[in-house]
Amino acid sequence: MALVNGLETNLVSINDRGLLYGDGLFETVLVHAAGPCLWRQHLDRLEQGAQRLAIPSPPRDLILGECARLASTEAPWVLKILLTRGGGGRGYLAPARPEPTRILMRYPAPDYPPAWQEHGVALRFCQTRLGENPRLAGIKHLNRLEQVLARGEWTDPQIAEGLMCDGRGRLIGGTMSNLFLVAGDVLVTPAINSCGIAGTVRSRVMEIAAEEGLQVREADIQRSDLEKADAAFLTNALIGVWPVRQFEHIPFDLGRLPGSLIERVRRAAFTPGGWRTG
Amino acid sequence: MALVNGLETNLVSINDRGLLYGDGLFETVLVHAAGPCLWRQHLDRLEQGAQRLAIPSPPRDLILGECARLASTEAPWVLKILLTRGGGGRGYLAPARPEPTRILMRYPAPDYPPAWQEHGVALRFCQTRLGENPRLAGIKHLNRLEQVLARGEWTDPQIAEGLMCDGRGRLIGGTMSNLFLVAGDVLVTPAINSCGIAGTVRSRVMEIAAEEGLQVREADIQRSDLEKADAAFLTNALIGVWPVRQFEHIPFDLGRLPGSLIERVRRAAFTPGGWRTG
């Protein structure tokens, strides 16, 4: 089931700038019967992205009302929200008064192997690079061809994720996840000033780490930094935390992960709150 | 009027990867009553882009048949072709056997001031940068947020176009056009190995210049190179050639343009051929 500007339909105009130019944003939210996870973070990021792209944000109450219509008791499910600049003629110039399109979709929750949470995942290195653009960095916009090409580099179902660099060889993250390295008592995560996405779980890691007395540094990270790290893990809203078991041929020690932090981050990522807490 | 996979409709699925990720390509073709302009170049580029993105190309005969249904006697008009990877579930991984979506749209021809052809255009410099990605450079894919943001930097209708640099400060072209500098008997145009689009008129300029005994160099161009150039012009399939009259506060001499070349390029860009010549 899906709603486009509040109407139950699976169709959108071919003149929508989301299709023509990727002129829009999206969010992917894990939802339990009791409500959505990290809901405030998702709504905040959507609004920050809309501000960056100068797309008017729909009122939160409007989104909440539509989420209530979409909500399913067959939990957990995935709510995908798209917000585009809406219709427009041919040409890049946006209408002076855009009428955004909001699309809410319900998907089944992904069925990743449970072992990936517990025993970690195997990663590969992707050849596809991320272009740098500070104006687009951090937000979850609809220009995702780089991720599509990178994800197309492997079909082996044993490989859970691929890591991507920018053009200067700096590791930025996975095709769909943020990366954290563990170096003693310090967590290091790639800076996302020129590309990459400011993940909702990523920000919770940074908050919880501070509470746990762990230092977190946002830094330029090379592939060799990962290879030398004590441990590593990935985060996103649907996976929570995946420990890294192996990157290419290099094994990682799950025993050196900050267990208490990871437990708390998982709880933060997987515990539903109310729709109204947003 | 528009056709989506051969059916007359203005709607497309919200699960189309063109919308979800900008996972597709487009072409913008000028069409006269007698037929399309630069048709072979457009079809070639569409197929090259599809090959790069591993999207199956529709047979040319299929496109030709649909163009015939779309063709209007109210010429000139603009044919916009979109080719996306088609539907797919949530997530970047593409279906093993994609069923592409092809969309053909008919737009009115743009009504640029005729003086822009004859007396040249005023350009500005855009702050929005182009991210570098060799795998996406040259092809006309649907990830166009950078162009949208750049085009959003001005509203003054006297400014015809804005020029964009990559992150390293190299001039790449206009938001919707290719750039040529004139330096004596040499034409210089930005290399498009890491970003930018291989324009259909751009390639005709290079062919015609060779016939005219003019040297053409693809090179890294700085803003200062443009400022020192004898003359400059822009090209695309709808504008043909626009001489540059002014860039920011710097005036340019239209008298130093290679007049014969420009006349021939315009003829190449604006002379319709048959649909079957593709």
Residues of chain A with pLDDT under 70: 277-278
Q: What confidence tier does B75 reach under pLDDT thresholds 50, 70, 90?
A: confident
Neighbouring CB atoms inside 10 A of A270's CB total 17
pLDDT score recorded for residue B96: 93
Contact with chain A for residue B4, Cβ under 8 A: yes
The answer to whether the Cβ–Cβ distance between A19 and B19 falls below 8 Å is: yes
pLDDT score recorded for residue A72: 76
> Which residue among B53, B103, B176 sits closest to A14, beta carbon to beta carbon?
B103
What are the start-end ranges of the H helices in A109-199? 115-119, 145-151
Taking each helix axis from N to C end, the angle separating B259-270 and B200-211, rounded to the nearest 10 degrees, works out to: 140
Rounded mean pLDDT, B161-172: 98
CB contact at 8 A, A178 and A234: yes
CA-to-CA distance for B140 and B198, rounded, in angstroms? 8
CA B200 to chain centre: 7
Q: Which of B92, B126, B130 is the best substitution to test chain A (most A C-beta atoms within 10 A)?
A: B92
CB contact at 8 A, A28 and A147: no
pLDDT score recorded for residue A88: 85
Nearest to B239 by CA among B262, B210, B221: B262
pLDDT score recorded for residue B74: 74
- Residue % of chain B over a pLDDT of 70: 99
Whole-number average pLDDT of chain B: 96
pLDDT score recorded for residue B276: 85
Q: Would you state the structure tokens that stand for residue B128, as one six-digit string?
A: 């929005």
User: End-to-end CA distance of chain A, in Å?
Assistant: 23
CA-to-CA distance for B56 and B69, rounded, in angstroms? 23
B-chain CB neighbours of A22 within 8 Å are 21-22, 142-145
pLDDT score recorded for residue B72: 76
Q: How far is B20 from chain A (nearest CA, A)?
A: 6
DSSP three-state, residue B106 = strand
CA-to-CA distance for A188 and A93, rounded, in angstroms? 40
Q: Over 90: is that where the pLDDT of B93 sits?
A: yes
Say what the alpha-carbon torsion angle A107, A86, A139, A32 is, to the nearest 10 degrees.
-20
Q: What confidence tier does B73 reach under pLDDT thresholds 50, 70, 90?
A: confident
The string of pLDDT tens digits covering residues B204-247 is 999 999 999 999 999 999 999 999 999 999 999 999 999 999 99
Q: Residues of B numbered 205-224 whose beta carbons fall under 8 angstroms of chain A's beta carbons: which are they?
A: none
CB contact at 8 A, B86 and B17: yes
**Residues B248-267 as b or e (16 or more Cβ within 10 Å = b):** eeeebebeebbeebbebbbe
In chain B, the largest separation of any two C-alpha atoms, in whole Å, equals 56
- Scanning every residue of chain A, which has its alpha carbon at the shortest distance from the alpha carbon of B3? A14
CB contact at 8 A, A201 and A265: yes
